[in-house]
Amino acid sequence: MTTTAHRVEPENNDHKPLGHGRMLRKEDPRFVRGRGRYVDDVQLPGMLHLAILRSPVAHARIVSIDVTAAQASPGVRAVVTGEALGEQGLAWMPTLSGDVQAVLATDKVRFQGQEVAFVVADDRYAARDALELIDVEYDMLDPVIDARTALAPEAPVIRDDLDGKSDNHCFDWETGDAEATERVFAAADVVVSQDIVYPRVHPAPMETCGAVADFDPVEGKLRLWSTTQAPHAHRTLYAMVAGLPEHKIQVISPDIGGGFGNKVPIYPGYVCAIVGSIVTGKPVKWMEDRSENLISTGFARDYVMRGEIAATRDGKILAIRTNVLADHGAFNGTAAPVKYPAGFFGVFTGSYDLQAAYCKMTAVYTNKAPGGVAYACSFRITEAVYLVERIVDCLAYRLEMDPAQLRLKNLLRPEQFPYTTRTGWVYDSGNYEPTMRLAMEIAGYEELRREQAEKRERGELMGIGIAFFTEAVGAGPRKDMDILGLGMADGCELRVHPTGKAVVRLSVQTQGQGHETTFAQIVAEEIGIPPDDIDVLHGDTDNTPFGLGTYGSRSTPVSGAAAALVARKVRDKARIIASGMLEVSVADLEWRKGAFHVKGDPGRSVTIQDVAMRAHGAGDLPDGIEGGLEAQICYNPSNLTYPHGAYICVVDVDPGTAQVKVRRFIAVDDCGTRINPMIIEGQVHGGLTDGVGMALMEMIAFDPDGNCLGASLMDYLIPTALEVPDWETGFTVTPSPHHPIGAKGVGESATVGSPPAIVNAVVDALKPFGVSHADMPLTPSRVWDAMRGAARPPI
């Protein structure tokens, strides 16, 4: 295995590669002119507007709903309650976890912000006016807010809609070997235990969720523009919910203003828009506002964990054990493969070679919005990596070892790959030490430690935090992974036109990750057509092949593989046609990017464009070859891809105000073959900013009555340009052996890897105060408490 290490410097992006490499984005010209087309930009003739009435309380029975005044309000076309939906069998819908979720509340409300009724009116102002006129009488119930009390015998039962449900238990899950882990712990020199909370946060894409539904009663066809990361999966779910056949549903995901996992689930608003259009016979637009987005759509994290690590006295890590309490809110809406109710949390063994590992998890219902898997978590790997990287630092603290040296001593070695973890995950490839060494070199690690020692002498608080992570992205093999019975494969279709231009159709859906550029590059690399001559289409279920969409950093591992393979399939056909054109056997042809050459006769060749014209044009084709030059495939990955990275964060903490300043952040990522380094760098920058937000600022908190305290950008604090440093990045290249072009996913790596690095840095800064752990978000007040020995969990 070869791994090369590089430091990224800003480069001139002007040149146009004929395949992989730095290349400016094909998406940008429309976006910089204000000519993107997002859902709220869609205007259809006669279009009406929908607004949703939401519950002001967390837990209450609905006694009555009076819509008389709302119906009489000017411009109102329809007012619909849960009871009315119930008569059509539409009051409840399946979630991506196989639970059910109320579209509109019928019996009771189960979280603040839950959908209770909707209004369709001539414009968005009239629709909002009418909401004020709906009179709902609630009979208040005690809410369950703290997951740690959800299973108490006296806790009120939230899900009394489920047959025979008499508690708030959602599911149990375990992985690893409990007994073997117990044995290792019992014999270990050192055991460190730490309670670690990953608080509830929210992906908060700049564009909120919304939809325009247009049901044509003559055609019997529903067209739905919506903010969806998984248009094909949504279409299938709508077919299941609404009883419309799939060929009569066209889901169109236009330009999406960021998704970050928020736009994977189906939300009641989408279903309401569809119902609204069917009821009124007009197109209906629903666009939620920011508060609605924060209070009711998919949250992220909310894991209360106890982490335990066993080691030898000299720092050999032997085992990790964890017990997790997962808060899933009122409905289990977690977007995860069916067999993985805790997502891929099983990778909590991290980048280390252990003798044993075990996790026991209990998930509970609470009176909060549903969600869990979102915000670039790669199906709970954020939580897994946070746990292992925090607990390894706790061990370093206990052993009084340098956390970098502790990691270097324990990282998996390249000859161990493919490596099967103690929880059964098969890491595809990794060469971890060069990645770690490069991060330390860019950071000037030893010099930083000297600087820190000097500052400590002067009473200044400086911290250096490290995280080394292994991600698991690219779900996934269809024998193991499906969402509601849909295998997690992805399709790709390539058509080469007569003049050698091409169109690629994807089943995945970009939300800013640059697919229109990079998928053209993948195909260009394989078939030699310049990326500018390749259009990439996605997001329209009538006109793209089936597949499961973009989340879990799965586009490159799954759909990227499909794109490379479909291009090779077309190239194979082109080779046969070329052999006919050149009157030589296929074996006598040599492919050099863009053309077939006759071996030993460099003057004789045909370009891929020549072949495209022949495939569509005059002249005979070799026997058995059809005209045209196109192919389609559906790629079933054999395994996930396992990118890795080494992150180092440097913080300064103001001893007077407890304000944390991230002074430097060094991120070295290894995602195998790099399709477009410019785009990867941007993905990493964005994810690191997520990390600063989660570690220092963001939290969706609740008061004891269940009022959401983070339901606007006044309280839910997202980093601006002033809270983040200029990022320092580097990379190593360890290709995935099973991927057609050796590429691994990367989009979520930085969001996964950065929070532990930042928290480790803050805890390191607070070492003079004897602080060995503090929970996110490390706001000034929480850091202040930690400095005074009064650190408290955030919930």
Partner 1 sequence: MQITMTVNGAEVTRQVEDRMLLVHFLRDVLGLTGTHWGCDTSNCGTCVVWLDGEPVKSCTVLAAMAGGHEVRTVEGLADGAELDPVQKGFMQCHGLQCGFCTPGMMMTARALLDRNPDPTEQEIREAISGQICRCTGYATIVRSVRWAAVNS
DSSP annotation of 156: P
Q: Mark the segment that binds partner 1 (CB under 8 A) among 37-45, 153-161, 264-272, 650-658.
A: 37-45
Q: How many Å separate Cα 596 from the centre of its chain?
A: 41
Interaction mask 237-256, partner 1, x per CB under 8 A: ------------------xx
Site for partner 1 in 703-762 (CB under 8 A): 712-714, 718, 720-722, 724, 726-727
Q: Which is nearer to partner 1, 49 or 328 (CB)?
A: 49
| Residue 357 near partner 1 by CB under 8 A | no
Q: Mark the segment that binds partner 1 (CB under 8 A) among 32-40, 106-114, 530-538, 586-594.
A: 32-40
Site for partner 1 in 597-656 (CB under 8 A): none
Interaction mask 396-435, partner 1, x per CB under 8 A: ----------------------------------------
Asked if residue 550 lies in contact with residue 229, where contact means CB atoms within 8 angstroms, the answer is yes
Q: Of the candidates 474, 512, 580, 742, which one interacts with partner 1 according to CB under 8 A?
A: 512
How many other CB atoms sit within 10 Å of the CB of residue 170?
Answer: 25
Contacts with partner 1: how many residues (CB under 8 A)?
62
Q: Report, in Å, the least distance between residue 664 CB and partner 1.
A: 12
How many other CB atoms sit within 10 Å of the CB of residue 757?
Answer: 32
Asked if residue 540 lies in contact with residue 223, where contact means CB atoms within 8 angstroms, the answer is no
For 750, counting Cβ atoms within 10 Å of its Cβ (0-12 exposed, 13-18 middle, 19+ buried), the class is buried
| Residue 44 near partner 1 by CB under 8 A | no
Q: Of the candidates 183, 290, 455, 575, which one interacts with partner 1 according to CB under 8 A?
A: 290
Coil, strand or helix at 323: strand
**Interior angle at CA 432, CA 427 and CA 436, nearest 5:** 145
| Residue 297 near partner 1 by CB under 8 A | no
Rounded Cα distance between 672 and 64, Å, is: 59
Q: In degrees rounded to 5, what are phi and psi of residue 432?
A: -80, -35
| Residue 34 near partner 1 by CB under 8 A | yes
Token pair of 542 as six digits = 């009538």
Site for partner 1 in 256-275 (CB under 8 A): 256-258, 260
Asked if residue 766 lies in contact with residue 463, where contact means CB atoms within 8 angstroms, the answer is yes
| Residue 526 near partner 1 by CB under 8 A | no
Q: Mark the segment that binds partner 1 (CB under 8 A) among 19-27, 159-167, 173-181, 773-781.
A: 19-27
Q: Which is nearer to partner 1, 512 or 539 (CB)?
A: 512
Please list, residue by residue across 558-593, b when 16 or more beta carbons sit within 10 angstroms of its beta carbon and e when fewer do: bbbbbbbbbbbbbbebbebbbbbbbebeeebbebee
Q: Mark the segment that binds partner 1 (CB under 8 A) among 233-241, 486-494, 511-519, 564-572.
A: 511-519
Asked if residue 642 lies in contact with residue 470, where contact means CB atoms within 8 angstroms, the answer is yes
Q: Which is nearer to partner 1, 128 or 456 (CB)?
A: 128
Q: Which is nearer to partner 1, 433 or 681 (CB)?
A: 681
Q: Of the candidates 6, 17, 18, 25, which one interacts with partner 1 according to CB under 8 A?
A: 25
Place of tokens 């003798």: 355
Asked if residue 149 lies in contact with residue 158, where contact means CB atoms within 8 angstroms, the answer is no
Q: Give the DSSP H or E segment for 717.
A: none
Q: Would you list the DSSP string of 196-251?
A: EEEEEE----SS--EEEEEEETTTTEEEEEE--S-HHHHHHHHHHHH---GGGEEE
Interaction mask 179-218, partner 1, x per CB under 8 A: -------------------------xxxxx----------
Q: Which is nearer to partner 1, 254 or 414 (CB)?
A: 254
Strand segments (E) across 115-187: 115-121, 135-140, 169-176
| Residue 511 near partner 1 by CB under 8 A | yes
Q: In degrees rounded to 5, what are phi and psi of residue 320?
A: -130, 140
| Residue 27 near partner 1 by CB under 8 A | yes
Q: Of the candidates 1, 15, 31, 166, which one interacts with partner 1 according to CB under 8 A?
A: 31
Q: Mark the segment that binds partner 1 (CB under 8 A) among 22-30, 102-110, 147-155, 426-434.
A: 22-30
Q: Which is nearer to partner 1, 30 or 450 (CB)?
A: 30
Q: Which is nearer to partner 1, 273 or 376 (CB)?
A: 376
Site for partner 1 in 662-691 (CB under 8 A): 678-679, 681-690
Q: Which is nearer to partner 1, 611 or 649 (CB)?
A: 649
Query: Which residues, 6+ apart, have CB-to-CB distance to 548 below 8 Å?
Result: 230, 232, 233, 483, 486, 488, 489, 490, 507, 508, 554, 558
Place of tokens 């999966």: 233
Query: Which residues of the shown chain bind partner 1 in the complex (CB under 8 A)?
Result: 10, 13-14, 24-25, 27-38, 40-41, 43, 123-125, 204-208, 255-258, 260, 289-291, 511-514, 678-679, 681-690, 712-714, 718, 720-722, 724, 726-727
